[in-house]
Amino acid sequence: MTRGLVPGLASPYPIGATLPAVFLGDSFTQRWCAALDEVLAPIITTLDSLPAYLDPATAPEDMLPWLAGWMGIALDGHQSAERQRELVQIGVELLQWRGTARGIRAAVRALFDLDPELIESGGTGQSTEPGSALPGTDQPELMVRLRVPNPEEFDVRRLDALVDMAKPAHIPHRVEITG
């Protein structure tokens, strides 16, 4: 896949050949069109390859943060290109669960390869009795607890940023690391 000027790349749609007959034999016009073809050929090639740019498995490495950004994922550069591809693909699959406990657990598991404990203030319930007690508490909160082998070396900011991205925007959260 190319992005930028590529010397010698032929345009699949040369402009000079599409001009009226009076310009087909004009040397200046044909040279001018050939110069435009040289500039436009990489653009046409990029557009023809667009599905490959949008697929995490085939996208150029510098496109992976851009693809991740579409889903609200911030790649922090700590991962290899292959790991970034995996995270973007996982992000595509987890997008349907974003903002749910299942989505938060899966996001933490994908990035840190550890299972978190989630403590939520909300709840759901049903009752046939009017005036029944409501589940949960009236103040929303989410606490994510993660047990790691070495808490002193763990980057809590990465976990906090991940939870902030994966949780509903209106819910305050805390993260806790234990050994």
Residue 140 has pLDDT above 90, yes or no: no
Q: Clarify whether residues 105 and 89 are in a common domain.
A: no
pLDDT score, position 35: 92
Q: Are residues 113 and 145 located together in one domain of the fold?
A: yes
Confidence of residue 173 (pLDDT cuts 50, 70, 90): very high
Mean pLDDT along residues 102-121? 91
Dihedral sign (CA 164, 169, 173, 178) = negative
In a domain, 143, yes or no: yes
- Residues 164 and 108 reside in one and the same domain: yes
Q: What is the pTM of this model?
A: 0.63
For 178, phi and psi rounded to 5 degrees? -125, 160
Q: Decide if pLDDT at 137 tops 80.
A: no
Mean pLDDT computed over every residue of the chain: 87
Q: Assess whether 66 and 77 both reside in one domain.
A: yes
33-92: per-residue pLDDT in tens?
Answer: 999 999 899 889 889 989 998 999 999 888 898 898 887 777 777 788 898 898 888 888
Query: For residue 90, what pLDDT is reported?
Result: 85
What confidence tens digit (pLDDT) does each residue in 3-27 have? 666 778 888 999 999 999 999 999 9
Q: Is residue 131 part of a domain?
A: no
Mark whether 113 and 144 lie in a shared domain: yes
pLDDT at residue 174, rounded to an integer: 94
- 28 and 44 both lie in a single domain: yes
In a domain, 3, yes or no: no
Provide mean pLDDT across the span 133-139.
Answer: 77
In a domain, 1, yes or no: no
Q: Please report whether residue 144 resides in a domain.
A: yes
Q: Is residue 89 located within the same domain as residue 35?
A: no
Shared domain for 79 and 26, answered yes or no, is no
Identify whether the C-beta of residue 71 lies closer than 8 Å to the C-beta of residue 95.
yes
What pLDDT sits at residue 110? 86
Domain contains 109? yes
The pLDDT value given to residue 8: 81
pLDDT band for 146, please (50, 70, 90 cuts): very high
Say yes or no: 106 and 148 in one domain: yes
Taking residues 113-131, what's their average pLDDT?
Answer: 85
Burial of residue 111 (number of CB atoms within 10 Å: 0-12, 13-18, 19+): buried
**Together in a domain, 144 and 91:** no
Q: Are residues 119 and 171 in the same domain?
A: yes
Residues 116, 174 contacting (CB under 8 angstroms): no
Pick from 94, 89, 41, 85: nearest CA to 63: 85
Q: Is residue 4 in some structural domain?
A: no
Residue 142 pLDDT > 90, yes or no?
yes
Enumerate the β-bridge partners of residue 146.
Answer: 177
Helix (H, G, I), strand (E, B) or coil at 178: strand
Position 151 pLDDT exceeds 80: yes
7, part of any domain: no
Report the distance separating Cα 165 and Cα 174, nearest Å: 13
Number of structural domains (the chain) is 3
179: containing domain: 100-126+136-179
* Pair 92, 114 in one domain: no
